[in-house]
């Protein structure tokens, strides 16, 4: 799902694109059902029959506006947004997207029902996610991944697009306000990219040796955010101020105080890093360069985060470290995870993640504890010393141990 997350005046706002997710350390899903990465939660449309049956009866030439009472204005705006995206990107939609606008209560019920269905269908997924998130410190030992995710999404869900069913659903808070319009533009861009570049890619779930799952989401979210920003730039000064006020007043900012900060930062990463990456691609090579990126994804988060810099972004293969228990998951963490951890400590500088050369991590269970062992290689000796200092600051707050083994920095933690 597209956890569209925006930081607005300190508030994280979420929207969902089913089939795209944000990182294997956040949550992972059934590979057969997901469309982008091993960090995905797929939504089953059968979970809310009272909504979906009506949507299924709607042809793709129609606009569905269930419960909104705004069929005319919504349809007119979707026409306007479709034209804007086509003019900007230089090609038409291949077919008319289905747009469903639901009032707040119905929308939240839809998301909650779909989550409950997903959790019930794959309880082993919840156990796996819980072990991973406890080990790295995203959740406390007394929390489970599903309850944290449920609280996280309840804090501010705006909308989602499903590249498998081609359905686009938005949460209409107060008639057709600018926040709803902005969300529609963002999600329509996902529909556009899906039609031209296929956003349903379950094969990326199977590739834990690279970060292409994360980079795919960063490109997809960067594309949608780039178009959304271009649309916002067409608004008047008064409209932009109004939109900012609507964003700031959406949801409950106090809810996010209970979440691990690094957890939130990793969620935000595909937006924070994706949009400037796409901006740079378009500035250098136009929208053809963006189209090519969907076909030739970067291998690492570093390649996205350090785009245009002098940092060596060629990844180094690192052997997976040994596990002292039953393995839950193994693969690459990447610079983006390091960056989130360091920014979340408020003592280590985010620059400590710069110079990442490669890594391999393993999560496993040992008795009643969930454990992580992470081996990281840096580009230079200076980078390595900065990394060790950053991880020592992190472990001083979170627990765990840091060591150096044969040119690798090892982070270990159990919870």
Q: Give tens-digit pLDDT for 159-174.
A: 888 887 788 988 876 6
Q: Which two tokens stand for residue 179?
A: 């926040």
* Predicted local confidence at residue 347, as pLDDT: 66
Answer yes or no: is pLDDT of 33 > 60: no
* Predicted local confidence at residue 350, as pLDDT: 63
Mean pLDDT of 138-149: 90
Mean pLDDT of 340-359: 83
Residue 23 pLDDT level (bands cut at 50, 70, 90): very low
* Predicted local confidence at residue 321, as pLDDT: 97
Mean pLDDT of 335-355: 82
* Predicted local confidence at residue 63, as pLDDT: 36
Mean pLDDT of 398-411: 95
Cα separation of 340 and 351, whole Å?
11
Mean pLDDT of 107-123: 82
pTM of the model: 0.83
Of 107 and 409, the structure prediction assigns the larger pLDDT to: 409
Answer yes or no: is pLDDT of 248 > 70: yes
* Predicted local confidence at residue 252, as pLDDT: 66
Cα separation of 15 and 4, whole Å?
4
Mean pLDDT of 282-304: 96
* Predicted local confidence at residue 327, as pLDDT: 96
Q: Which two tokens stand for residue 368?
A: 């009643």
Q: Give the mean pLDDT of the chain.
A: 80
Q: Which of 59-73, 164-178, 200-214, 218-232 has the lowest mean pLDDT?
A: 59-73
Answer yes or no: is pLDDT of 414 > 70: yes
Q: Which two tokens stand for residue 120?
A: 């019930």
Of 45 and 225, the structure prediction assigns the larger pLDDT to: 225
Q: Which of 21-25, 132-136, 196-200, 223-227 has the lowest mean pLDDT?
A: 21-25
Answer yes or no: is pLDDT of 251 > 80: no
Answer yes or no: is pLDDT of 155 > 70: no
Residue 14 pLDDT level (bands cut at 50, 70, 90): very low
Answer yes or no: is pLDDT of 15 > 70: no
Mapped to the 3 state alphabet, what secondary structure does the chain carry?
CCCEEEEECCEEEEECCCCCCCCCCCCCCCCCCCCCCCCCCCCCHHHCHHHHHHHHCCCCCCCECCCCCCHHHHHHHHHHHHHHHHHHHCCCCCCCCEEEEEEHHHHHHHHHHHHHHHHHHCHHHHHHHHHHHHHHCCCCCCCCHHHHHHHHHHCCECEEEECCCCEEEEEECCCCCHHHHHHHHHHHHHHHHHHHHCCCCHHHHHCCCCCHHHHHHHHHHHHHHHHHHHHHCCCCHHHHHHHHHHHHCCCCHHHHHHCCHHHHHHHHHHHHCHHHHHHHHHHHHHHHHHHHHHHCCCCCHHHHHCCCCCCCCCCCCCCCCCCCCEEEEEECCCHHHHHHHHHHHCCCCHHHHCCEEEEEEEEEEECCEEEEEEEEEECCHHHHHHHHHHHHHHHHHHCCEEEEECCEEEEEEEC
Answer yes or no: is pLDDT of 55 > 80: no
Mean pLDDT of 67-74: 58
* Predicted local confidence at residue 222, as pLDDT: 96
* Predicted local confidence at residue 253, as pLDDT: 63
Mean pLDDT of 89-109: 89
Cα separation of 41 and 39, whole Å?
7
Residues 6+ apart with CB under 8 A from 254: none
Mean pLDDT of 181-196: 95
């Amino acid at each position: 799902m597209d956890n569209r997350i925006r930081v607005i005046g300190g508030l994280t706002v979420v929207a969902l694109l089913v089939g795209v997710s944000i990182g294997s350390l956040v949550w992972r899903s059934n590979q057969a059902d997901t469309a982008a990465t091993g960090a995905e939660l797929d939504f089953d449309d059968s979970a809310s029959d009272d909504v979906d049956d009506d949507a299924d009866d709607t042809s793709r030439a129609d606009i569905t506006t269930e419960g909104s009472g705004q069929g005319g204005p919504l349809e007119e705006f979707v026409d306007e947004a479709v034209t804007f995206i086509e003019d900007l990107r230089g090609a038409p939609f291949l077919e008319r997207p289905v747009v469903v606008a639901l009032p707040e209560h119905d929308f939240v019920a839809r998301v909650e029902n779909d989550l409950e269905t997903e959790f019930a269908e794959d309880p082993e997924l919840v156990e796996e996610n819980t072990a991973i998130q406890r080990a790295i410190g995203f959740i406390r030992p007394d929390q489970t991944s599903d309850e944290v995710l449920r609280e996280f999404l309840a804090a501010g869900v705006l909308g989602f697009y499903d590249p498998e069913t081609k359905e686009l659903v938005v949460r209409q808070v107060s008639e057709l306000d600018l926040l709803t319009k902005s969300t529609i533009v963002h999600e329509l861009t996902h529909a556009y990219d899906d039609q031209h570049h296929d956003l349903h890619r379950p094969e990326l779930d199977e590739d834990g040796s690279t970060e292409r799952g994360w980079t795919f989401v960063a490109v997809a979210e960067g594309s949608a955010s780039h178009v959304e920003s271009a649309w916002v730039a067409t608004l008047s000064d008064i409209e932009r101020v109004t939109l900012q006020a609507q964003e700031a007043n959406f949801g409950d900012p106090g809810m996010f105080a209970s979440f691990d900060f690094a957890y939130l930062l990793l969620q935000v990463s595909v937006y924070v890093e994706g949009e400037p990456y796409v901006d740079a691609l378009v500035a250098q090579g136009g929208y053809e360069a963006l189209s090519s990126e969907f076909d030739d994804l970067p291998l690492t988060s570093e390649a996205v985060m350090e785009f245009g810099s002098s940092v060596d972004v060629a990844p180094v293969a690192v052997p997976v470290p040994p596990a002292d228990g039953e393995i839950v998951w193994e693969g690459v963490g990447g610079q983006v995870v390091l960056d989130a951890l360091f920014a979340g400590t408020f003592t280590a500088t985010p620059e400590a993640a710069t110079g990442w050369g490669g890594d391999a991590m393993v999560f496993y269970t040992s008795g009643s504890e969930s454990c992580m062992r992470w081996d990281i290689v840096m580009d230079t000796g200076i980078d390595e010393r900065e990394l060790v200092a950053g991880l020592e600051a992190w472990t001083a707050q979170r627990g765990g141990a840091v060591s150096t083994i044969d040119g690798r920095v090892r982070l270990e933690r159990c919870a």
